[in-house]
Amino acid sequence: MNQQTKPWGAIIVMIALFAMIAFVTNLCSPMANIIKAQGDIPEALAQIGNYGNFVAYLLMGIPAGMLIAKFGYKKTALIGLTVGIVGILVQWSSSFMDAKANLGMVFGVYLIGAFITGFCMCILNCVVNPMLNLLGGGGNAGNQLIQTGGVFNSLAAVAVYIIMGALIGEVTAETKIADATPALMIALSIFVIAFITILFTKIDEPEQAPVDMGLVKGALKYRHFVLGIIGIFVYMSIEVGTPTYVNMYLVNTPELGINAATAGLIVAVYWALMMVGRFVGASIGSKVSSRAMLTTVSIATLLLVSFGMFAPTDITVSVPGIDWANLKLIWANVPVGIFAFLLVGLCTSVMWGGIFNMAVEGLGKYTAAASGIFMTMVFGCAVMLFIQAQVAEMTDYMTSYWVVLFCAAYLLFYALVGSKVKK
């Protein structure tokens, strides 16, 4: 597919969906600080929104692939957006409830909303990734387009932390889910606008073979694909776990003197660096193989996380952020190890596209089914976040990063050995 014949209208729509996925998904982490402030909430339970969002992938991954096979990418995207609108409205409804009077009810309604929204994110991911790969022409060119979509995905993630930090300010016992209502309304507006845009956008789609269990089994015969979906399972721990526990550490370490608003600006640096990395990845994606990219960033992640865990906490560096409320640049002093964790954003930037690209290589007719299975493994974020939360609860936030370290080691193995195409 050459430069002149690329369907740019469809490409722009897919990239916009990529951004929206990040905005809605990343609402869960700053919301965890609000939830934790509602009472004596264990670390593992505070991440309940992330659990609901990502566990939905387990149930919806393969059905999403079947929806694509039956209705095509466009109609499946519209179905996903409708589900997302419902999910946001359910989450919003929890803000009208009194957490002090019935904390369990607030938790339950919010979790249901996050769960429904997770269905939407899974469906849209199943649409966006193979479509961008296809529209880009597959191979390195397909990876380049996925990385381009990733730039806007990261930009939306940055926006979430800035907006939530500005809305919440300092987290106290009086902070409520209702304080995040403007962010939920932004997400709702994005869903509605995206629905209308896609409804009136012409998308030329490839013919889809029916997805059945035979195709699912066929995809699972490919060793590199099976190891690739395990790679996505553990990758989610690196992408989400790293900034989540930077945020939790900054907000819940009183001696640092950092409130939620400032912490949100600091964590936004992680997503900004991820955006920069994806921009670089998109620029060189047609020239550098996915294997070379993943090898490089896996090694860098191992080094950065190791340094972040063991670096002295009394050595600090200044990290920049933008105070959007007052339109000014701020600088916050954080331990040098925290800065190392933020730099991991440069590494995670190209991991998703690289793993996906290598995992579906050579799958042919099994690609649609494989995409569904691939998305199913995103629920690994819920599992790995839970494990990291448990480790943090039993030890401390720094020790919990052994989980991230293990996951980075696996991705290095996949890049060097596991991604080689064998049936």
CATH at 226: 1.20.1250.20
Work out the average pLDDT over 2-14: 64
pLDDT tens-place string over residues 210-268: 656 677 777 788 888 889 989 999 998 898 889 889 988 888 888 887 877 677 778 87
- Whether residue 3 is predicted with pLDDT greater than 50 in this model: the reply is no
pLDDT, residue 279, reads 78
3-state secondary structure of 330: strand
Residues pairing with 56 in the sheet: none
Domain count, the chain: 1
Model pTM score: 0.71
pLDDT, residue 168, reads 63
pLDDT, residue 353, reads 80
pLDDT, residue 6, reads 62
Please tell me the distance from the alpha carbon of residue 385 to that of residue 404, in angstroms, as a whole number: 10
Please write down the HEC assignment for all residues of 299-352.
HHHHHHHHHHHHCCCCCEEEEEEEECCCCEEEEEEEEHHHHHHHHHHHHHCCHH
Residue 81 placed within a domain: yes
CA 187 to chain centre: 15
Residue 420 placed within a domain: no
Residue ranges making up the domain that contains 143: 8-414
On whether the CB atoms of residues 122 and 378 are closer than 8 A, the answer is: yes
- Whether residue 291 is predicted with pLDDT greater than 80 in this model: the reply is yes
Instruction: Name which of 21, 121, 53, 63 is nearest 373 in CA terms.
Output: 63
Work out the average pLDDT over 300-306: 96
Confidence of residue 400 (pLDDT cuts 50, 70, 90): very high
Work out the average pLDDT over 324-352: 84
Residue 13 placed within a domain: yes
On whether the CB atoms of residues 372 and 63 are closer than 8 A, the answer is: yes
Work out the average pLDDT over 276-297: 82
Residue 374 placed within a domain: yes
Q: Which residue has the higher pLDDT, 239 or 72?
A: 239
Residue 174 placed within a domain: yes
Residue 403 placed within a domain: yes
pLDDT tens-place string over residues 184-196: 888 788 788 878 8
- 104-118, 126-140, 183-197: the lowest-pLDDT one: 126-140
